[in-house]
Amino acid sequence: MLGFIKIFLQGLLYVVTLPLILLVLAGYAVYCVFVFIYIAIRSVIVFFMGGTPLGDLPEDVEAKRILMQRATTTPENSTQALADAITQSQMQIIQTIYAQQNQQQNEPVQPQDNFVTENSQDSEENKIEDMDDGVSY
């Protein structure tokens, strides 16, 4: 009930002050027409002078520059960047080690080396046999 009375009284107030509200609105409408024409003429002049008609104001540009600079140099961001860099380098090291291990494990058998080894083993045996024979080469 209280809300209803409040709405009713507000309605009464709006109806009573409606002429004043309309007068203010009409005044602002006339003012806005002049503003519109001023901005339109100014934009055309700026456009033909090679500028951006409704671009950012100098204050906006300065504010954007400062905020960008602040965003790149804040302590939280630098700490985060450092942490990211460390993680990345650690990951690279781990990947390198893993790759090396894989390479060692999957390295193909080189027959020539074995041959050399076998030959060397054979030669050792021959040596022993020859030694038994009493002949050394």
Distance CA 96, CA 23 (A): 78
Q: Compare residues 35 and 45 and give the one whose CB is closer to another protein.
A: 35
Contact with another protein (CB under 8 A) among 1, 2, 32, 123:
32
Q: Compare residues 11 and 115 and give the one whose CB is closer to another protein.
A: 11
Q: How far is the CB of 37 from another protein (least distance, A)?
A: 9
- Rule CB under 8 A: say whether 28 interacts with another protein: yes
5-19 residues labelled b (16+ CB within 10 A) or e (exposed): eeeeeeeeeeeeeee
By rule CB under 8 A, what count of residues binds another protein? 32
Report angle CA 67, 69, 70 to the nearest 5 degrees.
60
Burial grade of 60 (CB within 10 A; 0-12, 13-18, 19 or more): exposed
Q: Which residues of this chain interact with another protein, rule CB under 8 A?
A: 4, 6-15, 24-25, 28-29, 32, 35-36, 38-40, 43, 54, 57, 59-60, 62-64, 66-67, 70
